[in-house]
Chains A and B, each alone.
Chain A
Amino acid sequence: LSATPETPKEDGRPKWDNKFQYILSCIGFAVGLGNVWRFPYLCQIHGGGAFLIPYFIALVFEGIPLLHLELALGQCLRKGSIGAWNTISPYLGGIGVGSWMVSILVSLFYNTVLTWVMWYFINSFQEPLPWSVCPLNENRTGFNEECYESTAVNYFWYRKTLNITPDIAESGTFQWWLILCLAACWAIVYLCTIRGIETTGKAIYVTAIFPYLVLTIFLIQGLTLPGATEGLIYLFTPKLNTLKNPRVWLDAATQIFFSLSLAFGGLIAFASYNPEKNDCEKDAVTVAIVNSMTSLYASIPVFSVLGFKATTAYWDCLDRNIIHIINEFDLPEESIMRQNYTSWISFLNSSYPEKIAGLKLKSCDLQEFLDQSVSGTGLAFIVFTQAIILMPGSQAWAILFFIMLFSLGLSSMFGNIEGVFTPLLELQILPKSAPKELLSGIICLISFLIALCFTLGSGSYWIDIFDRYAASVPLLVIAFFEVIGVVYIYKIKRFSEDVEWMTGRKLSLFWQITWRFISPLLLLIVFMAFVTLQMQKPPSYTAWNPKYEGFPMKEEKVYPPWVQAICVLLAALPCVCVPLVALFHLVKQKRRSKEPSLVPPEVSFCQGANS
């Protein structure tokens, strides 16, 4: 009994239903919340259209080569991250373990962000929206003080949602509503990843395509709002002299790197379910370009809405000033309009300067309102929610917006969970008879229990820490070792033959140059610059403290030493796996008194052999 050579190897490995599912999964993984709330912010603060120049340079020389490398690696070795690196060389197994750890850490905090999105979603079914009005205080004479001094939107976010403590050292209590939403989110993740790619492959059709529909709807709606054009002009006007600031180039490189979700191990896992003869080069270019185009496409509605919000705030400021002037001078109603406000002001200032000065009018400047740039959770939960209140039919817009954010985040979660699930499946933690559903259930349950820490009062401070330290430096380090490992240890000659065998055409010179020199060099520079910038000042955070004098400004505080130690631990733990595992194997080989051979034998792991 022997299988004929033409039949594909029946190794029982699950595979994608079709190529489209695979591409969609990779795109869904890459396109996440960062495309909506980080890229437009970076575009705005780094000179608008001019930012696209370093962005595309980083895309071509750093993003696409690294993406191609990961996809080719996964497809060739047909294993998850830990298995793949162990196959190349046991000394490099630490890279896989590092990726796996980062995937776990990121899954934990990313799903908590989705918890917040879900909380806002289920609160969007009320009329009026709960973040549009301030609650009354105890004796019903006025509004709640904290809410009155900041805004209703801020109050709902910091008090009603997070119930935030004024300091990271104060943990506060568990917020039961967040625990409920967290349980629901992990249940949804379990539902979609229950059988690995068999189930995520079906779910991805919805979660990856739906955000584009909603973005288009928001685009059309956003462009019809007043003030949208101001926002767009502000966003896209290129200010070329910002390119002289090296910070811009660093931000472009890091944005591309983190946006493509490299070094998580999830892409390797996705590619490992591919048939061997698949054009990974075209896939990589497709995914990277779609990701960048999505960022650009998303920034248009975001900035239309931000322009609308700035214009509305500007008009409100003008109106308030007008009411004060009319009340003071007893002028008839509608004598001063927004259009002739400036001429009236100059006339009144020249005739009655003391009265005008006594009114203490706030200067209303549209540019100032446009300059208030926010990124991250602030953009979604504070700025955007405020803009949604001003739109007609706000419930529908809120529901659409939060479902879109949820799908964006969920499709990225699939990639993260796959990066955790596939290596564990291959390591055969559970006996072979145990169903896959049990392993995914265990992963989701344990993650839920650990993520309960983020539902404490100080939870959002911890999420910031995880975001800044666990999901930044280790990824750069792991990606650097990935490139070095493949190019110099597995040897680029062997790898290019493998890629040729898979894609069916010769590896072009572009990939050779970028893989060998440009990408590792860029990664090294970015890593050094990143670490230097972080070390320049002691790590600090901004806390929401109602008792602070400058309230509603956030209070700048420094992390206590024990928190700083945790930050360092989070950043160092995945990185340190790489040398630790290599050392472990070195000691093992020395003990067996064999010659420690770093270079594995000259046989390709792709072509033909599936040992």
Chain B
Amino acid sequence: YAWDANEEYLFKAMVAFAMRRYSSKSTTQISNVLLCNVTDRVSFWFVVTDSSKNVTTVPGSEVEAAIRMNRNRINNAFLLSDKTLQFLKITSTLSPPVEPSTPVWLIVFGVVLCLIVAGIVFLIVSGIQKHKKKKESTERENLEEKVEVTLENGIPCEALDLKAGHINGVFAADDDRFTSL
């Protein structure tokens, strides 16, 4: 927006407002605020007079304090910020950055760590289970091998057992040939 007489009027009103709030006197009028040396840059000097004390100017420190107290309102009235509306000699007090009660990074870290620990526990447990299963299966394999070995020895054990119970017919049949005592 362009800076014209209306904006100047608003500025005077804001300064008067700031003075009233600061000193809680309701005597400051818009006519007490005087602007001078207005340039194209839109920079100017201003003074605040005190009509009750015979047209003397209010000391600069009071004006500074008043403006500092109401800086936010003045800025917002002009849709500007501390950087774009500069009062020379009035440094802005900086607002502290918002700090949450627990730092955000701790929360994220907690999440990451939980995931990692869950992963490790899962892998270790599955490793133990696999180990147990492998042990069982190797034991079973060992038993099977023994069974195989007995089969592969050429003569099946069952056959041997069967044969052990057989009577050798050759000798049994020749009982008569032997001389009876």
Contact = CB atoms under 8 A, between A and B. Distances in A.
Contacts of A122: 105, 108-109, 112
A142 interface: yes
A187 B97 CA distance: 34
B136 to A, nearest CB: 16
Interface residues of B, number: 25
A133 B96 CA distance: 11
A191 B119 contact: yes
Contact of B120 (A143, A194, A330, A333): A194
Interface string B123-156: 1100110010000000000000000000000000
Contact of B105 (A125, A140, A199): A125
Interface stretch (B10-18, B40-48, B169-177): B40-48
Contacts of A136: 94, 96-97
A188 B120 CA distance: 9
A195 interface: yes
Given A187-B113, A326-B41, A330-B41, A194 B124 contact: yes
B109 A180 contact: yes
B35 interface: no
Given A122-B109, A125-B105, A330-B39, A140 B96 contact: yes
A199 B117 contact: no
Contact-size category for A: 20 to 34
B67 to A, nearest CB: 17
Nearest to B122: A191
Interface in A125-158: 125-126, 133, 135-136, 140-143
B116 interface: yes
B104 interface: yes
Interface in B77-91: 91
Interface in A241-262: none
Contact of A199 (B40, B108, B123): B123
Contact of A437 (B112, B119, B127): B127
B26 interface: no
B124 A181 contact: no
A164 B127 CA distance: 42
B61 interface: no
Contact of B131 (A126, A141, A330, A435): A435
Contacts of B96: 136, 140
A499 B104 CA distance: 56
B93 interface: yes
Contact of A181 (B42, B43, B109): B109
B41 A333 contact: yes
A51 interface: no
Interface in A433-488: 435, 437
A184 interface: yes
Interface in A180-198: 180-181, 184, 187-188, 190-191, 194-195
Interface string B53-80: 0000000000000000000000000000
A216 interface: no
A435 B39 contact: no
Given A133-B97, A437-B124, A188 B116 contact: yes
Given A135-B97, A142-B94, A184-B112, A331 B41 contact: yes
Given A126-B104, A191-B120, A333-B42, A141 B112 contact: no
A262 to B, nearest CB: 31
B127 A195 contact: yes
A195 B104 CA distance: 34
Contacts of B124: 194, 437
B97 A190 contact: no
A588 B39 CA distance: 96
Contacts of A332: 40-42
A534 interface: no
Nearest to B120: A191
A115 to B, nearest CB: 12
A327 interface: yes
A87 to B, nearest CB: 29
Contacts of A133: 97
B22 to A, nearest CB: 20
B117 A187 contact: yes
A195 B116 contact: no
A330 B43 contact: yes
A123 B123 CA distance: 29
Contacts of B131: 435
Contacts of A125: 104-105, 108
A599 to B, nearest CB: 42
Nearest to B149: A1
A141 B42 CA distance: 28
Given A187-B113, A190-B120, A330-B39, A123 B97 contact: no
A191 B116 contact: yes
Contacts of B119: 191
Nearest to A195: B127
Nearest to B124: A437
Contacts of A187: 113, 116-117, 120
Residue in A187, A191, A326, A437 with the greatest tally of chain B CB atoms within 10 Å: A191
A435 to B, nearest CB: 6
A184 B109 contact: yes
Nearest to A119: B105
Contacts of B105: 119, 122-123, 125-126, 177
B97 A184 contact: no
Nearest to A399: B108
Contacts of B41: 326-327, 330-333
Contacts of A330: 39-41, 43
Contacts of B94: 136, 140-143
Contacts of B127: 194-195, 435, 437
A331 B40 contact: yes
A31 to B, nearest CB: 24
Contacts of B43: 327, 330
A194 B130 CA distance: 14
Interface in B17-42: 39-42
- Chain A to chain B: the 4 pairs with minimum beta-carbon distance, closest first: A332-B40, A330-B39, A122-B108, A330-B41
21 contacts: A122-B108, A123-B105, A125-B104, A125-B105, A133-B97, A140-B93, A141-B93, A180-B109, A187-B116, A190-B120, A191-B119, A194-B120, A194-B123, A194-B124, A194-B127, A199-B123, A326-B41, A327-B43, A331-B40, A333-B42, A435-B127
Interface of A: 118-119, 122-123, 125-126, 133, 135-136, 140-143, 177, 180-181, 184, 187-188, 190-191, 194-195, 199, 326-327, 330-333, 435, 437
Given A140-B93, A191-B123, A327-B41, 5 more contacts: A118-B112, A187-B117, A191-B120, A332-B41, A437-B124
